[in-house]
Amino acid sequence: MQLWSELRELEDGIDYGTPPRQGSPVTLEVDGQSITVPSGSSVMLAAAKARRNIPKLCATDTLEAWGSCRLCLVEIEGRSGFPASCTTIVSEGMVVKTQSEKLQQLRKGVLELYLSDFPAEDVEGGWSEFHDMLAQCGVKSHPYEPAETHLESAVDASNPYFLFDPAKCIVCNRCVRACEEIQGTFALTIQGRGFDSKVAAGQDQTFFQSDCVSCGACVQTCPSQALVEKSLFEGEYSRG
């Protein structure tokens, strides 16, 4: 039986950010390098094929593109603004720049905003994708004064196998999408708008009370340690 990565033609273990497509070849330029990918592919996937590592949080190649985190912005010749590479489809002759001073500045600003509502004691020594992106973009702190945050939100430890710490949740929607696209359980949703947006199980129940089947798809895809296996901790879970 083939592994999931092999079925998706991802044998080298790289996360291409968006699922591979099957289509006629399209050739574009990424940071001066010519790369050919199937039509329908994202700019992010093309960049990954060219070994150009675009920062990302809401994107992963096992889920359809969502475009919410705004970390994967790029510059495209002839286009205004800074489109998200995960939701931008390649076109013949497209010229893409994944690194520039302006892009670095924008990505730094996005991560600083996320960091302003993330437990400070869990920044140093963290091992999640979020921490990897902080390191990749050189972000260690943020310039914002203390304000309303989610840092006092209660941990949901009701599930016997994993817990959910909303203080570490960046509302990237990956857990919700994994529950829907991979498992087909539809146990998770995003409730609220703006600052009040949050991941909710069932009808705003605990994970144990909801329709969650403990498959672990949400835990596997979470980029920020908000959903994490209990077996990784000795004794009672605590932040920091």
Q: What is the pLDDT of residue 147?
A: 87
Does the domain at 1-99 match CATH 1.10.1270.20? Answer given as no
Span(s) in the chain for CATH 3.10.20.740:
1-99
Mean pLDDT for 121-145 is 94
Report pTM: 0.91
Span(s) in the chain for CATH 3.30.70.20:
115-240
Q: pLDDT tens for residues 81-108? A: 999 999 999 999 999 999 999 999 999 9
Q: How far is residue 1's CA from residue 232's CA, in Å, rounded to a whole number?
A: 29
Q: pLDDT tens for residues 164-181? A: 999 999 999 999 999 999
Q: Which CATH number fits domain 115-240: 2.160.10.10, 3.30.70.20, 3.30.465.10, 3.90.180.10?
A: 3.30.70.20
Alpha carbon separation from 180 to 110, 143, 166, 206, 217 (Å, rounded): 27, 37, 20, 18, 10
